[in-house]
Chains A and B, each alone.
Chain A
Amino acid sequence: MAATFGNDGRFHRQLIMVNGLLPMVLMGFDAWRGKLGVNPAEFVTRATGVMTLVFLVLTLLVTPLRKTLGWNWLLKQRRLLGLFAFFYCCGHLLTYLAFDRDWQLGTVYEDVVKRRFIAVGMFSFALMVPLAVTSTNAMIKKLGGPRWAQLHRLTYYITIGGVLHYYMIVKSDATYPLWFAVMVAVLLGYRVVASLKKGKEREAVGVVK
């Protein structure tokens, strides 16, 4: 049974597609029936931002889950999770341009320079673009596996930037950004510990030889 589930890539893909799009669909439905709350602009801006962070955290969750639970099938779906993060981040950027900038695109540069949290957010978004562009099979082949993997480690910095961006805009109650910070710290901490262990094992093997 487990083996069957683990091999069913099409099923995983559909599952992630539907669940990833569902919040977007529900938001659209709520917008259509006028149920996005008293300040829809604020809600949509925050929701798309949070969804970006959720998908970034999910992409970072793939490696620990593979290594600890052996869920190797997740690896095939990681690029899709990352693309969802990019998708919601584009939505987040659009809400900023529409509601915060009133489509006065000329004022964006000035705003980035003036407001540090906007600069941090924009920087993280800019780092996402090359990752989205290189997310195809052809690009992996072109770049070669190791180089591609190295490039996509930018995800670490993107996620840290995203959480920082969230923390910087909060007025006083930092509960949600701190939750994200803890999750990201655990997921990145896992990698640090894993690489330290690997280093030691290599050393040990070296000594025996």
Chain B
Amino acid sequence: MSAGKQKGSFVERHLHILFPLPAVTFVVVMMLFPVLYTFFLSFTNWNLTSGMPLTVVFLRSYQRIIQEPRFVAALGRTFSFTLMAVSVETVLGMIIALILNREFKGKGLAKLVMLLPLVSTPVAIGIVWNLFYDPTIGLANFVLTRLGLPRIAWVGSAKTVLPSLALVDIWQWTPMIALILLAGLASLSTEPYESARVDGASEWQIFWHVTLPMVMPTLLTAVILRSIDALKTFDIIYAMTGGGPGYSSETLNIMAFKYSFEYFRMGQASVILVFLFILVLLMSLVIMRLRKSLEL
């Protein structure tokens, strides 16, 4: 009886360790170890297909990847894709949130529609958009020809592929920003608005001087979360173009995937992964910092 109680109190005293233990163990085993292993592999020249044993070459794989024009191009593309997609999503999302931020009949339905792209399978989305973009039978070119514009190749040409892919991302994720902002706007107090109106401020002034500063924390977090996800975009690009034509839509994620699972160059693939990893880690640090400074 008393032993049982003591045992119970042990559990109780160590609840803050015991409760999270399974989850933490899982994450350590499934995430931390693999990441460390990737770091180790990045210092080797291991190639599954060369038949040669793994040898530690220290920074040589890094050197080869950094000197690889394909890597530099993929890095640039990763950023330009993210910038294109997220900037449009932010502006559009803000506009939509401001418009919908009032009570009206069918608001629930409008919100439901906005949820649909967020919960749809990205691979399937990509394929549906490929049907739109099909240069010969696609709706996109039909619209262009009706407007008297020439047909374009959309994802079929190196010049237009990245904006075309960004457009899909914009379609899918603008509603996310809008929904987050809507929730943010709804939680604002109405007082500052009333006093601004009393002072005779214009709608634009109210937005710029009252609304925007108040939703800024929400907006920033949403934008950074979205940017991290955009940097990692994989499914849509892989399903729609596989990084092509040529390498013209190959981002870091796609390149790392090809190096790992098509070329089996595990050493060099790890180098790309380390870069991607650092990139995301830096962005995450920014989030944490931002949250802290905004809370103060």
Indicate, yes or no, whether A interacts with B: no
B interface, CB within 8 angstroms of A: none
A interface, CB within 8 angstroms of B: none
